[in-house]
Structure 1
Amino acid sequence: MGTGTSYAIQNKLGEGMCGEVYKAWDKNSRTSWAIKTLKRSNFNSLKELKNEAMKEIDALLKVKHHENVVNLKEYFQKGKHFCLVMELCRGGTLNDFILQRPKDMVNNLNFMKQLSSGVSFLHGQGVVHRDLKPDNILIEFNHLGDAVVKISDFGLAKVFIQTFNPSAQEKCISRKYMKTCCGTPFFQAPETQNFHYTHKADVFSLGAIFASMMLKQRVQINTSQVGVKRDLLVVCMGNLTIADYEIFFNMDYVLPSDLWINPHLVLLLNSLLRKDYHERPGAEQLRCAMERMTNKDVETDIWRELARRNEELEEKTIKKERKREKKLQRLNKCKKCTIL
């Protein structure tokens, strides 16, 4: 645990239910960091504050050193605040990054690969996030200027003592059940409402994130500032969220057919959103499947043209079949006439 004396707070980056995030300058290393502060006023007691802070810290310490997971530098207590010093992600949240830019399917595929890798790593280390959503995914840029996603906010994460063997991930982690209903409605797996779920709740959340990136649907929500609203990237059908659709209609969500991407990728994305979590792939299985996808799989012009050609071919086949049937009908009439 550090002392926090070397940090100078610069400006507020954001806030959540339990605390706030600030940009800070480290006078010792002369670098910028993000400091997440958990306030005593948001908890029933200082002991509860410490317990909740340590849960997040334990999760972050267990998943260090993966490029798609935010890195924890140190933590310290300052008065009635608990502070977590983490790497600063300059690109903001995935939610704002996607909504502020034109739709880019190649970029979306790249992000999906990175997130699949990150969640597979979490599960392999015995950590289930339980609140994956675009607002909890941050964007940083590598030395080439390419965007890199970072999974953050492990406040609701479940850490299992046993470390799962990634090569036998399904066998180990599928035996672990959780009971606490948590998550965010637009991205929360339906089985969490039954207080009996596994790591595949994270897989559902990934599916909802991927679909929201592809469709780029949005709703407006209120912020902590009175009268101020912001756009939220979601997947919804009318006034229903994807989770509502799964719970109330007892059906699997299916992506629209006019995405114009590889049908195999559509099937993979649909499998993440199965209502029955047994039918969803594990995160490692998803990671492997995503790695096989290339930019050509999301080049919409290619797949739109291919769909057009298939439709033309189908129409020609139908016309030929109709001609053949008419010809057979005429032959049958001729045979009848000959017999008479």
Structure 2
Amino acid sequence: MDTGDGRGRRRSVRTCRRAGARGAKMKREVGKVLGTLSVENTEDKQVPMEEGDDEEEEEEEANCLYTNLFRSDTTRRKTAGAAAATAATAAPRYSLLREVGRGSYGVVYEAVARGSGARVAVKKLRCDAPENVELALAEFWALASLEKRHENVVQLEECVLQRNGLAQKMSHGDKRSKQYLRLVETSLKGERVLGYPEEPCYLWFVMEFCEGGDLNQFILSRQPDPRTNKSFMLQLTSAVAFLHKNNIVHRDLKPDNILISEKSGVPVLKVADFGLSKVCAGLGGLGKEGDDKNVNVNKFWLSSACGSDFYMAPEVWEGHYTAKADIFALGIIIWAMLERITFIDAESKRELLGTYVRQGTEIVPVGEALLENPKMILHIPQRRRSSMSDGIRQLLQDMLAVNPQDRPDAFELEIRMDQVTCAA
């Protein structure tokens, strides 16, 4: 192992590989019930659009989200004139303030809800490619399936499908919506079924805004703080236990996908970015008697090798794994956070939290190195002068076990983490 900053960085690829095909970097984010869009631009400041969105109408639609109508295509045709007049005078429900992030598949904005003044995050995702639709639906299904909120899981507020100037509320499993069914068909068939390319289709996701950035930014911009580390470890394990209890395997846990909210005056972690997640409910787990929803998520096997290299468990590289892969990723994150182990991302050139193994001039993800050499011993902690307690050290060793059966599940982990942080 090595404690350097990883400037010999080999790769950091976020993938979801199917049938042995390596590739396609995937980006995303989610929401629940927005409003409709108007072509009337009431904002003085232009909001940057996605590459290729150079039509005047699309630029205007990007600036304001309106609530004046959720209508069927039939209603829209009958009242086109009246709707246009209403759109021109309706007060915008959300005002987009600035672009805060941009990826291959969408743009994220900071916005303000006009009614409450609350800040929210809004992501616009163009759904003209099946891979975009698959990512969006995966995140939508995961967050929409949660019946309860959790403080450490990002909250989905609204999701709206926009096509041909018409906005429609997205509801989970809505078989009455032709647009929703077409999105599902697009994802399943792997080909566009929503119309011609000149008819752009978008999904707008609205969720809580996290002003503290991601875990990388927060940790690396501050001096080490044992109390913050302890709090973050407890919050992370609580979030993953909540997701697994609700039959959701995240499959892409990493510091980039852990956001920070400071609204309460103290940093609160929010696990986000569920585009590669898998909802395992109703898939034959071993639940408690009389509790049909309690699926044993660790009994469900997954086969798509998804995630980001430096956080992927050995079995994920092979494409045959369970929810225990989330535990491995969490072990990498916590280890890197405690010892501030970083590497430089080859694409973004950002310094990111993450542990690795050095092989000559290259650095190799821990999971990949363990797959190649299952008997390799991980030196935890890496630094000779470390304040890491024996309890945390042993817990990290168990979380990063080569054999997933030797790792604690999320519920055992939550209990053990509470014990070792109290003793530390």
TM-score (ref. length: structure 2): 0.63
Q: Secondary structure at the match of 1:108?
A: helix
- The aligned amino acid for 2:381 is P
Q: How far off its partner does 1:203 sit? A: 0.3
Q: Report the more deviating stretch, 128-137 or 104-113.
A: 104-113
Matched, 1:38 2:121: no
Residue by residue over 1:38-72, the C-alpha shift from the partner in whole angstroms, topping out at 9 and shown as x without a partner, is: 2235x24xxx6445422211101223510000000
Q: How far off its partner does 1:172 sit? A: 2.0
Whether contact under 8 Å (1:106, 1:295) holds in the other structure is no
Whether contact under 8 Å (2:127, 2:133) holds in the other structure is no
- The aligned amino acid for 1:208 is I
Matched, 1:75 2:140: no
Whether contact under 8 Å (2:247, 2:295) holds in the other structure is no
Q: Report the more deviating stretch, 277-286 or 213-222.
A: 213-222
Q: How far off its partner does 1:296 sit? A: 5.7
Matched, 1:253 2:253: no
The equivalent position to 1:129 in structure 2, one of 233, 242, 250, is 250
Correspondences of 1:28-67 after superposition (within 5 Å): 28-40=115-127, 43-44=129-130, 49-63=132-146, 64-67=148-151
Residue by residue over 1:212-266, the C-alpha shift from the partner in whole angstroms, topping out at 9 and shown as x without a partner, is: 1012122222446xxxx21111102322222232122223534126322221221
Aligned counterpart, 2:73: none
- The aligned amino acid for 1:11 is R
Q: Secondary structure at the match of 2:233?
A: helix
Aligned counterpart, 1:152: 272
Aligned counterpart, 1:93: 214
Q: How far off its partner does 1:94 sit? A: 0.4
Q: Secondary structure at the match of 2:273?
A: coil
Q: How far off its partner does 1:77 sit? A: 2.0
Aligned counterpart, 1:302: none
Q: How far off its partner does 1:141 sit? A: 1.7
Residue by residue over 1:184-212, the C-alpha shift from the partner in whole angstroms, topping out at 9 and shown as x without a partner, is: 01101110122110000000000000011
Q: Which ranges of structure 1 fall in alignment gaps of 5 or more residues?
A: 298-340
The equivalent position to 1:139 in structure 2, one of 254, 260, 263, is 260
Larger Rg: 1
Residue by residue over 1:279-310, the C-alpha shift from the partner in whole angstroms, topping out at 9 and shown as x without a partner, is: 0000010001111234661xxxxxxxxxxxxx
CA distance in 2, matches of 1:287, 1:256: 21
Q: Which ranges of structure 2 fall in alignment gaps of 5 or more residues?
A: 1-32, 36-64, 67-92, 164-200
Q: How far off its partner does 1:166 sit? A: 8.8
Residue by residue over 1:151-200, the C-alpha shift from the partner in whole angstroms, topping out at 9 and shown as x without a partner, is: 00000000023397599999822220000000001101110122110000
Q: 1:150 to 1:263 in 2, by over 3 A?
A: same
CA distance in 2, matches of 1:171, 1:87: 28
Aligned counterpart, 1:268: 395
Matched, 1:289 2:321: no
Q: 1:24 to 1:140 in 2, by over 3 A?
A: same
Q: How far off its partner does 1:17 sit? A: 4.0
Whether contact under 8 Å (2:280, 2:295) holds in the other structure is no
Q: How far off its partner does 1:131 sit? A: 0.1
Q: 1:174 to 1:223 in 2, by over 3 A?
A: closer
Matched, 1:201 2:325: yes
Aligned counterpart, 1:311: none
Higher relative contact order (CA 8 A, sep 6+): 2
Aligned counterpart, 2:45: none
TM-score (ref. length: structure 1): 0.78
Q: 1:65 to 1:16 in 2, by over 3 A?
A: same
CA distance in 1, matches of 2:277, 2:103: 16
Aligned Cα root-mean-square deviation (Å): 2.4
Aligned counterpart, 2:80: none
CA distance in 2, matches of 1:104, 1:117: 20
Q: 1:98 to 1:170 in 2, by over 3 A?
A: farther
Q: Report the more deviating stretch, 79-88 or 124-133.
A: 79-88
Q: Secondary structure at the match of 1:25?
A: strand
How many residue pairs end up in the alignment? 288
Q: 1:113 to 1:265 in 2, by over 3 A?
A: same
Whether contact under 8 Å (1:252, 1:274) holds in the other structure is no
Q: Report the more deviating stretch, 178-187 or 286-295.
A: 286-295
Q: How far off its partner does 1:28 sit? A: 2.4
Q: 1:252 to 1:61 in 2, by over 3 A?
A: farther
CA distance in 2, matches of 1:21, 1:140: 17
Matched, 1:185 2:309: yes
Correspondences of 1:157-176 after superposition (within 5 Å): 157-162=277-282, 172-176=296-300
Q: Secondary structure at the match of 1:292?
A: helix
Whether contact under 8 Å (1:75, 1:84) holds in the other structure is yes
Q: 1:122 to 1:178 in 2, by over 3 A?
A: same
Q: How far off its partner does 1:127 sit? A: 0.3
Residue by residue over 1:115-150, the C-alpha shift from the partner in whole angstroms, topping out at 9 and shown as x without a partner, is: 00000000000000000000000000242x111100
Whether contact under 8 Å (2:142, 2:248) holds in the other structure is yes
Q: 1:171 to 1:2 in 2, by over 3 A?
A: closer
